Structure formats: structure tokens, C-alpha cells
Amino acid sequence: MMLISSTVFSQKEFERVANKLCKCIEKEKATTQGDVDSCLERTFAKNMDVFFKYYDAKTIDDIDMEEVGNVIGIYIAENCTYAAEAFMDEAGKESNFIEPAEDLTCLDIHQGEYYYTNEVKELNFIDTTYVSFNGDLYLERMKNGKTYSILDIEWINDCDFELTFKASNDPMKKRLSKPGDIYKYQIIDKTPTSIIIETFWNKRKYQVTFHKI
């Protein structure tokens, strides 16, 4: 019971910090990454005692910032409309987007192993996701293989595919997706060592580079 109580306590305390972050972003009417970063840094600086206490940390290196980021990210996505849109607006800016390559062939990609990264500078870590295209299954492995997501894959044509969410033990992904959710993707370019995939989420465009393993 003590372990359960401790977990519930940490969840609530982390969510209180997330709520403060939401209020800051909304109050400041944040529209750029700089605005969001400013709120994030101030909110974390004022509430680091919560994380030090929970992790019984002597230094910031003793704090699992990835876990903190997951809890706060889930809370923002589910409860803070303005803050979630501010993050998505920044991520979805089109300044670095590329145009789809002409006459692209993708049959060689229907089986393969890749990885992509997401750097979260404010939390000082790089999240690496490993991806397997394997027949009619698409597998993602996160956190050094500790968590996973399984999706069905259907190739619409040579370079376009749909993923149907089946299951995950990743805290963030299993909260944001439910079995049967469908996501559409297009491979828009490739090199001998990578592919670039484009998708739309909440009417915003995203492009991600997958690196071949």
C-alpha cells in the first residue's frame, strides 16, 4: 500500500507542476518555442523540490527527467488545450519542410529496421525510438526496449501506408491512442541510409527522418 500511495502522490504532485506550466503558457499567450521554454524553465525552477523529494535526489542527475516529461506531457495533452496547441504549433512550423521526391519507389522499405530521435532540450534528454517494418506489423520500441507499441500496417500504395494502433505499454502512447485508432503516413524521400516520413495530426503537418539500422 505504501508503494501505491507513493506512486499516486508523485502523480498528483507532477500533475500540479504540469497545471502550473499550463497556466503560465496560457497567461503569457505563448506562441513560440522561446515563450514555451521560458515558462518551462521558470515552472521547473520553482518546483524542483517536488522532483528532488520524490526521487530522493542529491543532484539533478538523480532525477528521471524522462519519466517527469512523460507525466507532464500526458497531462498537457489531455487537459491543457492552449498549451498543447502551442507545442504543436511550434513543432508543425513549415520552415524546414521538404517537398515529396518525384518518381519515388518504396518497396525496399516495406521490410526493415530504423530509428528516429526526438530531442527534448528543456528536459536534457534525447528520446530514441526503434522501428521495425515487418510484413503487416509495425513495432516501435522505446526507452532502450523497456516499452513498445504494436500497430498493424497496411500499404495503400508503394509509399503510402496506414497504421492501426493495437497495444502499447508506453505510458504516453497508451494514453494518447486507443485500439483501432488509424494514422496515415507517406514516405516522401529517401537516401541509402534514411527515409523521410510525412504525417498530419490535428490538421498540422509533421516530417520525421527515420535512420536505417
Tell me the domain boundaries of the chain. 2-91, 107-212
Query: Helix, strand or coil for residue 151?
Result: strand
Bridge partners of residue 128, in order along the sequence: 117
Q: What fold, for 107-212? A: Lipocalin (2.40.128)
pLDDT tens digits, 156-208? 999 999 999 999 998 778 878 899 999 999 999 999 999 999 998 767 788 99
Which residues are CB-neighbours of 82 under 8 A, at least 6 positions away?
Answer: 22, 25, 26
As a whole number of angstroms, the distance between CA 171 and CA 150 comes to 14
- pLDDT, tens only, 32-78: 777 888 888 899 899 999 888 888 888 888 888 877 877 887 788 77
